[in-house]
Amino acid sequence: MIAVYWQTAMAWLTQLEPHFAPLQVAIPLIAAPICVLIRQRRIAWFFTLVVTWVTFAIAVALLVQVRSSGDISYAIGGWEPPWGIEYKVDLLSALVLVIVAGIAAAVMPFARVSVEREVPNPRIYLFYTMYLLSLAGLLGITITGDAFNLFVFLEISSLSSYVLISLGRDTRALTAAFRYLILGTLGATFYVIGVGMLYMMTGTLNIADLATRLPALQNLRVVEAALAFLLVGVGLKLALFPLHTWLPNAYAFAPTVATIFIAATATKVSVYVMIRLLYTLFGGTDFFATTGVDEALVGLGMVGMIAAALIAIFQRNVKRLLAYSSVSQIGYMVLGLALGNVAGLTAAILHIVYHALMKAALFMAVGCATTQARVVQIEDLAGLGRQMPVTMASMVVGILSLIGVPLTVGFVSKWYLLQAAFVAGDWAIALVIVASGLIAAVYGWRVIEAAYFTDAPEGRAEVAEAPLSMLVPLWLLTGLCVLLALNAEWTMTLAEEAARALMNGAAAGVVP
């Protein structure tokens, strides 16, 4: 009996397999309105859990497919590209899909307790609806091969993340969401202006098709202006210093689960879009050599790495401290992708994956502490090293990884970044990278000092360790932070292959 069911299920799966690319986006997108109809908070949670796990399974299947049989191109509705919308999965997008869907799936078991604690009960099903929409948007940005479709998904993910942020308990969550809405919409509109200019000059919206047409037009002022609009738009979205002002408050006052998800995925997907713009869309042109885009990005990346880390030292709110640390870490990625060599691009791709893991783990640890002991400021962590040993141990691993200590993933990507700096022949860049790590040690130490070397305030009730449903996802991600450093080859070969494919595509003037 069971064997029959199994066979039918397998037959279904093989039938569905060629359609995994659109299903990757369609499943969470369709699940979101269903979640509104469910209303009951526990069922909504379980439904979202199942949907995110299925989405993650599809992402892994896509990665396996790409590894075994090359890039996937899917024509939506049977309209051949470049006329119709094309979904395109190559190694880089498959990797980003896995990390986005993986974080979304890992956060869900954690979410039940944390969301019930932080979001007003009648609104919980709406929280999960927005969570699914945001996930669908981020996956859509990653998978689509159409420049305008990318904008639509960008807005889906952004609008839903404004709502996620505004659901925080603190009233400042509202103003943070509003400021993010203003700047985010400006950024997205800048992106559309850029796409419009490119469409005007080429008559196509398909990224691969654009890439083959742009080299012939690269001397036109319109195309240069388009690049500027696109870069500023995406720069706003990825919180490139000094366009980062929306980020710290948004991360600090959003519900913890929203912070974990947005911090680990949204900015990373924007970095992915920037890589796509520079290496695929404009890959065939010689903008890198002629317009000074690379120098500007290297400069902003380095300033961000130092300045944001310095600001982080003076924060009192734990989540704000980690938020500024995110701005600083985004500087690493932008620096890596702007250096223009394989090692730098590999470092950027690796850091997308690794930073997603460690920031998710760190915000989860803060979430555990907030749930158990109402931690908001750094002083509130006092004495928790002894009372919540499991949570705080993972916090220590996360911070060591932010600093880039050997045996953590932060070290691996930083090592590549240093190599890239040496290949580029610039010692100053290497110095800045090391300095930024040292500053990270200073703000990281403030957290560790409060947790381990300060006595618990008198009169606080005994704090218990967080429930298992929160600790398991926390240690899953923390464990990956160490495991992927010990077995670095796996992610390294993937990232390096993806970087080489991008570089070769760019050098040949056509998309791989």
Partner 1 sequence: MSYAVFSSFNYWMVIVLMMTGFFIVIAQGNMVKKVFGLNIFQVSVFLFYISMSPIEGGTPPILDERFELYSNPLPHVLILTAIVVGVAGMALGLALVVRIKAAYGTIEEDEIERLEEEMP
Q: Which is nearer to partner 1, 259 or 317 (CB)?
A: 317
We find the least distance from the C-beta atom of residue 26 to partner 1, in angstroms, to be: 17
Applying the rule CB under 8 A, the residues between 8 and 47 that interact with partner 1 are none
We find the least distance from the C-beta atom of residue 187 to partner 1, in angstroms, to be: 12
Per-residue b or e along 185-208, where b marks 16 or more CB atoms closer than 10 Å to that residue's CB: eebbebbbbbbebbbebbebbbbb
Closest among 389, 375, 350 to 495, alpha carbons compared: 350
Q: Which one of 196, 215, 299, 509 is in contact with partner 1 (CB under 8 A)?
A: 196
We find the least distance from the C-beta atom of residue 320 to partner 1, in angstroms, to be: 12
Q: Which one of 42, 67, 172, 374 is in contact with partner 1 (CB under 8 A)?
A: 172
The span from the CA of 387 to the CA of 46, in Å, is 30
Q: Which is nearer to partner 1, 109 or 140 (CB)?
A: 140
Q: Which one of 152, 393, 430, 448 is in contact with partner 1 (CB under 8 A)?
A: 152
Amino acid (one-letter) located at 126? L
Q: Is 245 in the site for partner 1 (CB under 8 A)?
A: no
Query: Applying CB under 8 A, which part among 10-18, 68-76, 154-162, 298-306 lies near partner 1?
Result: 154-162
Taking each helix axis as running N to C, give the angle between helix 147-166 and helix 207-217, from 0 to 180 degrees, rounded to the nearest 10. Answer: 120
We find the least distance from the C-beta atom of residue 331 to partner 1, in angstroms, to be: 25
Contacts of 368 (CB under 8 A, 6+ apart): 388, 391, 466, 470, 471, 474
We find the least distance from the C-beta atom of residue 12 to partner 1, in angstroms, to be: 33
Amino acid (one-letter) located at 249? N
Cβ(294)–Cβ(334) below 8 Å: no
Query: Applying CB under 8 A, which part among 36-44, 94-102, 181-189, 411-419 lies near partner 1?
Result: 181-189
How many residues are listed for the chain in this entry? 512
Q: Which is nearer to partner 1, 192 or 264 (CB)?
A: 192
Applying the rule CB under 8 A, the residues between 313 and 332 that interact with partner 1 are none
Q: Is 166 in the site for partner 1 (CB under 8 A)?
A: yes
What is the CA 123 to chain-centroid distance, rounded? 25
Q: Is 199 in the site for partner 1 (CB under 8 A)?
A: yes
DSSP string covering 41-66: HHHHHHHHHHHHHHHHHHHHHHHHHH
Q: Is 224 in the site for partner 1 (CB under 8 A)?
A: no
Query: Which region holds residue 425: left if phi is over 0, alpha if psi is between -120 and 50, else beta?
Result: left
Query: Applying CB under 8 A, which part among 33-41, 171-179, 273-281, 445-453 lies near partner 1?
Result: 171-179
In the block, residue with structure tokens 């979202």: 48
Q: Is 356 in the site for partner 1 (CB under 8 A)?
A: no
Q: Is 163 in the site for partner 1 (CB under 8 A)?
A: yes
Q: Which is nearer to partner 1, 210 or 399 (CB)?
A: 210
Query: Applying CB under 8 A, which part among 148-156, 269-277, 428-436, 475-483 lies near partner 1?
Result: 148-156
Q: Which one of 49, 186, 303, 488 is in contact with partner 1 (CB under 8 A)?
A: 186
Q: Is 174 in the site for partner 1 (CB under 8 A)?
A: yes
Q: Is 148 in the site for partner 1 (CB under 8 A)?
A: yes
Long-range contact pairs involving 84-87 (C-beta distance under 8 Å, separation at least 24): 85/144, 85/145, 85/146, 85/149, 86/144, 86/145, 86/146, 86/206, 86/208, 87/21, 87/22, 87/25, 87/143, 87/144, 87/145
Q: Which one of 73, 218, 377, 454 is in contact with partner 1 (CB under 8 A)?
A: 377
**Most distant CA pair in the chain, distance:** 72
Cβ(163)–Cβ(185) below 8 Å: no
Q: Which is nearer to partner 1, 258 or 474 (CB)?
A: 258
How many angstroms separate the Cα of 119 from the Cα of each of 112, 165, 191? Answer: 11, 11, 33
The span from the CA of 485 to the CA of 439, in Å, is 22
In the block, residue with structure tokens 């783990």: 361
Cβ(498)–Cβ(95) below 8 Å: yes
Q: Which one of 151, 241, 354, 416 is in contact with partner 1 (CB under 8 A)?
A: 151
How many angstroms separate the Cα of 189 from the Cα of each of 109, 229, 236? Answer: 36, 9, 11
Query: Applying CB under 8 A, which part among 189-197, 285-293, 301-309, 417-425 lies near partner 1?
Result: 189-197
Cβ(275)–Cβ(238) below 8 Å: no
Q: Is 200 in the site for partner 1 (CB under 8 A)?
A: yes
Count of positions on this chain that bind partner 1 (CB under 8 A): 27
Q: Which one of 73, 189, 291, 454 is in contact with partner 1 (CB under 8 A)?
A: 189
Q: Which one of 30, 53, 123, 178 is in contact with partner 1 (CB under 8 A)?
A: 178
Kindly state the helix (H) or strand (E) to which residue 72 belongs, with its residue range.
strand 72-75
Query: Applying CB under 8 A, which part among 40-48, 112-120, 169-177, 484-492 lies near partner 1?
Result: 169-177
Q: Is 182 in the site for partner 1 (CB under 8 A)?
A: yes
Per the DSSP assignment, residues forming a β-bridge with 146 are 206
Q: Is 175 in the site for partner 1 (CB under 8 A)?
A: yes
Q: Which is nearer to partner 1, 278 or 376 (CB)?
A: 376
We find the least distance from the C-beta atom of residue 192 to partner 1, in angstroms, to be: 6
148 by Cβ neighbours in 10 Å (0-12 / 13-18 / 19+) ranks as middle
Residues that bind partner 1 (CB under 8 A): 148, 151-152, 155, 159, 162-163, 166, 171-172, 174-175, 177-178, 181-182, 185-186, 189, 192-193, 196, 199-200, 203, 376-377
